[in-house]
Amino acid sequence: MAHRPELHVTPEIGILDAPAGALFDGTHWHIFAQFRPTADAGARWSHQIAEGSPLNWEICDDVLAPEGEEIKVRAGSVVQTGDETLLYYTSVSPDGDEVHLASIDDLAASTEFVSDEGSSLDQNVRHRGVVLDDRDGFYNFRSPSVRAAFLEGEEQSGWLMLAVSGSMDEPQLVLLDSQDGVDWKVRGPLSLEGDTGLEGERLVAPRLIRLKDQVDGQLYDVLILTIERQGIDISGYLVGKLEHTTFQAFSPFQRIDFGHDFTRPRITSVPSAVGERMGERYNSTTLFGFMNGRGRNDTPKQHRTFSEEGWANCLALPRAATLQHRRLYQTPPAGLWEAVELSDRAALWTAVLDVPQGESVSVELVDSQGDVAAVITHRGERLTLDRSMNKVHQGDAVAEAELHEDDTDAITIVVDGPTVEVFADGGQVAMASRVFFEGVCSQFRVHSTERAEVQRTHELRPKFA
């Protein structure tokens, strides 16, 4: 039985290292990922496309690969201006890191023909060269995040970049401005003010977006960050306001995901004209996260998927994210139910629960051999995901998240290959964890304590499998 998930972005071969950038043009979803075609190859960028719903992906030719003295090409950011798509990426050479730019004049044309040769490069990509090298006392620029810059209100005024600089042990976040997306000027180092809870933490993979709070109607800046802590990646966000180089946080750092394996998320770029046409320019965004929480300490060559099938790692399901009460709410993408029914092996279980204090509802995920691969438990005020009984994950800590009593006790569990994703508490809590099954998830086995009640439930399986 194949391990490869059907609804997630995976590399055709090789090792997926991180999402690099995402774009929605109003019809098609484009995901660019940092990956290695072999374990020892230098990282490059792949390109996949999905029409309508971001759940059925087709592989396109790669868009970037190391050239000249480059050792690898690492993640960055993707934006579209007019018909031109701009790819900002981290170029790694023996001399250090720089931010380079490539562009595609007609993105649709780049997907019309795909070579039969593996790791072929898209000939529509034009390399523009370095746009950010050592300057103004900063060095080793990397991991660029680019978004539209704004004057007062919603009028665009050029572009804003947030990048990482400095050493790996002491990274520093830096803001830069550009009118044309090519010539960048340093604004200054980003300063975090307020009770962030991030003092002394090593911050990487920054993303900066704008969202309108669905409750108070105000526009906020949302700073998404990944903490590298003792070999584990923890991704979360701050909600606040950016004023020149100061980000004033209105509340402490909050985790985006409480599972074992969700990190370094990328924001889907939507051209202004498309967003305005959809009427959702700041109402929501779509997150693509990396399903691997071990960060730099991971050994993908030891993954079962790599040794048995020649590939490792995947992205999490895309998530529709909105801001409510200055908190991110995340829900599965539209079209998920239909995609599960049209798949060969995916499964979904959803329920409305009534779990009084001191009670619980547990859902065992049972594999094809009748063994429990993981257990999700709703305790009313707390949600846990335990995979420690699984022989692949023996001894792993139990992932847990606090739930809020004033929200509905609803839960959705999605299983797709070696991935388990849980959405609960009206979208306020999400958990993503890698869980290996012998075969498939054959059963959602439910247990409830005396006063806990499963009021409604629905299970989805493939229609034609």
pLDDT at 435 over 70: yes
DSSP for residue 296: G
d(C-alpha 323, C-alpha 350), whole Å: 23
What's the pLDDT band for 278 if we cut at 50, 70, 90?
very low
Residue 215 is encoded by which pair of tokens? 């409750």
pLDDT of residue 234: 93
pLDDT of residue 368: 96
d(C-alpha 343, C-alpha 340), whole Å: 5
Range 38-67 average pLDDT? 95
Contact 178, 170 (CB under 8 A): no
d(C-alpha 418, C-alpha 441), whole Å: 9
CA-based nearest residue to 177, from 144, 223, 207, 212: 144
Sign, CA dihedral 171-175-177-181, equals positive
- Bridging pattern class, strands 372-378 and 382-386: antiparallel
pTM of the predicted model, to two decimals? 0.94
Of the options 3.40.190.10, 3.40.50.300, 3.20.20.70, 2.60.120.560, the CATH number for the domain spanning 342-460: 2.60.120.560
Cβ burial, residue 283 (10 Å; 0-12/13-18/19+): middle
Contact 424, 412 (CB under 8 A): yes
Encoded amino acid at 309, one letter: E
Strand runs labelled E in 344-436: 347-354, 361-366, 372-378, 382-386, 399-402, 409-416, 419-424, 429-434
pLDDT at 249 over 60: yes
What's the pLDDT band for 230 if we cut at 50, 70, 90?
confident
Residue 43 is encoded by which pair of tokens? 């990282």
d(C-alpha 273, C-alpha 184), whole Å: 24
Instruction: Name the residue with tokens 């699984």.
Output: 390
pLDDT at 118 over 80: no
- Bridging pattern class, strands 246-249 and 191-193: parallel
Q: What percent of the chain lies above the pLDDT cut of 70?
A: 95
pLDDT at 48 over 90: yes
pLDDT at 155 over 70: no
| Whole-number Cα distances in Å, 375 to 386, 398, 417, 439, 444 | 5, 10, 16, 17, 9
Tens digits of residue pLDDT in 196-229: 999 999 999 999 999 999 999 999 999 999 998 8
Burial 288-327 (b: 16+ CB within 10 A, else e): bbbbbbebeebebeebebbeeeebbbbbbbbbbbbbeebb
d(C-alpha 411, C-alpha 409), whole Å: 7
Residue 136 is encoded by which pair of tokens? 């103004």
Mean pLDDT of the chain: 93
What's the pLDDT band for 152 if we cut at 50, 70, 90?
low
Cβ burial, residue 443 (10 Å; 0-12/13-18/19+): middle
What's the pLDDT band for 93 if we cut at 50, 70, 90?
very high
Range 81-95 average pLDDT? 94
pLDDT of residue 239: 98
d(C-alpha 123, C-alpha 170), whole Å: 38
Non-local CB neighbours of 6 within 8 Å, separated by 6+ positions: 343, 344, 345, 346, 416, 417
d(C-alpha 69, C-alpha 87), whole Å: 20
Going from N- to C-terminal start, the domains of the chain cover 14-325, 342-460
CB atoms within 10 A of CB 400: 16
Contact 427, 332 (CB under 8 A): no
pLDDT of residue 275: 46
CB atoms within 10 A of CB 176: 23
Tens digits of residue pLDDT in 53-62: 999 999 999 9
Q: What is the DSSP string of 138-175?
A: B---EEEEEEEEESSTT-EEEEEEEEEEE-SSSEEEEE
23 HSE (CA, 13 A, CB side): 28
Contact 89, 141 (CB under 8 A): no
Range 285-309 average pLDDT? 91
pLDDT of residue 298: 87
pLDDT of residue 277: 46
Q: Is domain 14-325 in CATH 3.40.50.1820, yes or no? A: no
Non-local CB neighbours of 279 within 8 Å, separated by 6+ positions: none
Range 137-144 average pLDDT? 97
pLDDT of residue 151: 60
pLDDT of residue 149: 85
d(C-alpha 324, C-alpha 4), whole Å: 35
Non-local CB neighbours of 430 within 8 Å, separated by 6+ positions: 256, 257, 258, 259, 262, 319, 330, 421, 422, 423, 424
pLDDT at 71 over 50: yes
pLDDT of residue 405: 61
Region at 231 (left for phi over 0; alpha for psi -120 to 50; beta for the rest): left
Phi and psi (nearest 5°) for 274?
Answer: -70, -45
Cβ burial, residue 449 (10 Å; 0-12/13-18/19+): middle
pLDDT of residue 82: 84
